[in-house]
Structure 1
Amino acid sequence: MNNLMNEEAAIYNSVLVIDDHKMVTNGVKLIIGSLFQHFYVAHDGASAMHKVALHAPELIIIDFFLPDTHGDALVRQLKYKHPSTKILAYSFSYTPDTIIKMLKSGVDGYVIKKEDDDEFINAIHLLMQDRDYFCKEARLHIVNRFATSTDDYAIKHIIANIQFSGKELEMIRLLCKQMSSKEISNHLHLSERTVEQYRSNVMRKVKAKNLAGVIKFAIQNGVMMLEDL
């Protein structure tokens, strides 16, 4: 790993790591510090907000558990005030509730601290390329949660900073499986006209001109996995 990091040049401007464990932030700096010209650290939510306002980092890496707040609450504040900043959640927790809370708050990626360094670095590169990255455990929980969401008036889901209803997400999954409007109508117990309205809304929200665009959005944002297509 040291050889890998020595080969990496500082190709990004700045990152802020928010974690209350100093040994963890020191370890993160050893792994990714050479990728960034500026490396900042905050150990609680209050200092994190101050440092973001002061330094405007390109990337924020945040743990879910913080001394003065939870990560999802802090992410919402950060995304509201700094919507263009990329946020990568990382935690020892891979429970469904933690992952879904962070997802709904607007994070651009999620990795678990037990993963190896290469996956962590890969996630950072993808986020800095304006893409999302969710580790395998996170994707499984996301797909399972969406698959069981049938109430169109249930809490909204935030994917890539876009708000979707449960049925809209189910529509994306069925479109990815190349089901026809009639097949989707039977599956969701909706009229074909209603299905077409949902299809139109989904295409508009994900800015897709065709089915390929919907599939690309679904895969990049963890709504579907390749093996499910």
Structure 2
Amino acid sequence: MNAVNPTYKSILVIDDHKMVANGIKLIAGRLFETFYMAHDGASGMSQALRNFPDLIIVDFHLPDMPGDLLVRQLKEKLSSAKILAYSFSYSPDIIIKMLKAGIDGYVIKREDDEEFVNAIHLLMQGRDYFCKEARTHIVNRFSTATDDFAIKHIIGNVKFSGKELELIRLLCKQVTTKEISHYLNLSERTIEQYRSNIMRKVNAKTLAGIIKFAIQNGVIMVDEL
């Protein structure tokens, strides 16, 4: 992939550190036809409403508002945009706040460039991506919490086939569609159909919803993730 043949249409980076935004442009800019950046929440929202980017990368710490508030506003106005949280923070509270706000993925800035680019590809393919540390905090929260956030997607007495249960376990471990296809001896198209059916059955809109269902119902154990 190169700048001559970008893979995706447009990206907006909202980060108050200009060096970080420029670094993202160097790492991932070649994947997009158009690259936008903003350095606070207000200008980020303005850019988003003006340009309707396909992917928005948001830091939690912004000079004029917290990242989770901005994500809620972005999701309300641009529901089809994918949002990746990219932050130095690995605080469980911040990760959960961003998850509640509606992010599609979370990557900590200390992760390597390869993982960051992989997260972008997965989000642009309609999937979720949470780095290992973020995923651990999410799992720990869901496995112990009793509030509505932890149980709102739980549906009792749902029937699954053996393949569906195995697929849920693999999805929770963030195994790729290609790898699942090989493991279950099914086409990638069939895997995606299974995934859609599972999300409908458990009333989940993201991978986080599937993880919540799986843990709360004993389909997978925390120490398996």
Q: TM-score range by the shorter chain?
A: 0.7 to 0.9
Shift of residue 139, structure 1, vs aligned partner: 0.7
What CA RMSD, in Å, does the superposition of the two structures yield over aligned residues? 2.7
Q: Report whether the alignment pairs 1:75 with 2:71.
A: yes
Give distance in 2, aligned partners of 1:155 and 1:78: 23
- 1:25 corresponds, among 21, 30, 43, to 21
Q: Report whether the alignment pairs 1:211 with 2:165.
A: yes
Partner of residue 103, structure 2 = 107
Aligned length: 182
User: Can you list the C-alpha shifts for 1:56-79, whole angstroms capped at 9, x where unaligned?
Assistant: 000000000001111111101111
Q: Report whether the alignment pairs 1:198 with 2:156.
A: yes
Q: What letter matches 2:149 in structure 1?
A: K
Unmatched tracts of structure 2, length 5 or more: 175-206
SS at match of 2:10: strand
Shift of residue 110, structure 1, vs aligned partner: 0.4
Alignment of 1:63-212 (within 5 A): 63-149=59-145, 151=146, 154-157=147-150, 164-165=151-152, 168=154, 198-200=156-158, 210-212=164-166
Runs of 4+ in structure 1 over 3 Å off: 5-9, 212-220, 224-227
**What TM-score does the superposition give when structure 2 sets the normalisation length?**
0.72
Q: What letter matches 1:107 in structure 2?
A: I
Counterpart contact for 1:12–1:37, Cα < 8 Å: yes
Q: What letter matches 1:48 in structure 2?
A: G
Give distance in 2, aligned partners of 1:212 and 1:128: 25
Shift of residue 8, structure 1, vs aligned partner: 8.4
Alignment of 1:50-61 (within 5 A): 50-61=46-57
Counterpart contact for 2:14–2:56, Cα < 8 Å: yes
Shift of residue 117, structure 1, vs aligned partner: 0.5
User: Equivalent pairs: percent with the same residue?
Assistant: 59
Farther-moved stretch of structure 1 (8-17 vs 218-227):
218-227
Q: What letter matches 2:19 in structure 1?
A: M
Q: What letter matches 1:77 in structure 2?
A: Q
Do the aligned partners of residues 67 and 215 (structure 1) sit closer, same or farther apart at CA in structure 2, a change above 3 Å counting? same
